[in-house]
Amino acid sequence: MPAAAAAAAAAPPNPNVLQLAPRLRGLVSFPSSYSSSSPFSNRLRLRLPRAASMSAEARVPVAPPAHPTYDLKAVINLALSEDAGDRGDVSCLATIPSDVKAEATFIAKEDGVVAGISLADMIFKQVDPSLKVEWFESDGNYVHKGLQFGRVYGCARNIIVAERVVLNFMQRMSGIATMTKAMADAAHPACILETRKTAPGLRLVDKWAVLIGGGKNHRIGLFDMVMIKDNHISVAGGITNAMKFVDRFLAKEKLALPVEVETRTLQEVKDLLEYAAENNTSLTRIMLDNMVVPLGNGDIDVSMLKDAVELINGRFETEASGNVTIDTVKKIGETGVTYISSGALTHSVKALDISLKIDTELALQHSVVLLDTC
């Protein structure tokens, strides 16, 4: 079981999810080859390509970013609750007896980096701890269209209740991870970062997907890094004043936090470097904002960015921001910047298409049994 799911393993079924008994009363008829000791064994399956049970690309699970107040279980409960409303899944209640079991298979419907497996485990456990989940791939692995990369077995109603919430999270996370992987590979040796331009309420989920895709996290929120941007500088009366105020504040509050300052011109870079040379400063990183200039022919001019990196000369970390796309990131990474940040990783992500389908053969057998008992 992925590490991030372990904490949820003992959780009771979500009381709001379906209004059905968590204890299953029995199985409908299965093929004679069915073995109750192994719910996934010896059954007819969809004829689709499937990964080996122990993937050659098995990875150490990527833990979500740390946050002092974010409650991942509460986010899952909210997602389940908004689906269930005050009646539960009336479609399942109307069509599927509570004691019917089923097996459903995760299928990639396009190529990409899969993410959200650990979170999916947490959701299934929150809906029904008796569901049995098996994965053939790990978070961060590349999957191809048509690949079966996981399956879940147990109460059919509970699988269907969890289905859309699991897929919504996994598809979004996989889309983020896929884009992050492409950007991170192109940006090397610079590191790719996301921003705070995440979906409201999904800050940790979006940033978790970036880690799975091979990127690194920028600040999680307003609390874990001092980041002086253009509005701060304007109100403070200039970049030097803003940096002075930061140093005084951190010293007074006895806080040790990373400090980043946004610069928009080479003169601002020079002013900041001059201040840092003359003062004991907490400055750790200089953002070089919009120093990548788009050209009419679709190319970019990075000469200003290169000049800024040379001025800083390794004294502080550097971060390029603005006009970062999958087409421009390689050229930006070649300038020598430490980091490249891109809001597009999370604010305009294209979800990766994934489906969860109940085993066709098994479902047909269930239908026959149900018709016979009517």
Catalytic residue among 109, 164, 216, 331: 164
Q: Which residue has the tokens 């974010």?
A: 70
The two tokens of residue 147 are 């690949």
Catalytic residue among 229, 244, 264, 330: 229
Catalytic residue among 163, 260, 268, 289: 289
CA-to-CA distance for 361 and 44, rounded, in angstroms? 6
Catalytic residue among 45, 73, 109, 197: 197
CA-to-CA distance for 97 and 92, rounded, in angstroms? 8
Decide the pairing of beta strands 300-301 and 293-294.
Answer: antiparallel
Contact 19, 161 (CB under 8 A): no
Residue 289 known to be catalytic: yes
CA-to-CA distance for 193 and 71, rounded, in angstroms? 23
What DSSP assignment string belongs to 217-268? ---SSSSS-EEE-HHHHHHHTSHHHHHHHHHHHHHHHT----EEEEE-SHHH
CB atoms within 10 A of CB 254: 6
Decide the pairing of beta strands 285-289 and 293-294.
Answer: unpaired
Residue 132 known to be catalytic: no
Catalytic residue among 262, 268, 319, 359: 262
Distance of CA 281 to the CA centre of its chain: 35
Let me know if 243 is exposed, middle or buried by CB neighbors in 10 A (0-12, 13-18, 19+): buried
Residue 301 known to be catalytic: no
Q: Which residues pair with 132 in a beta bridge?
A: 153
- Residues in the chain, total: 374
Residue 43 known to be catalytic: no
For 288-322, b/e burial (b = at least 16 CB within 10 A) is bbbbbeeeeeeebebebbbebbebbeeebbbbbbb
Residue 307 known to be catalytic: no
Catalytic residue numbers, as ranges: 164, 197, 229, 262, 289
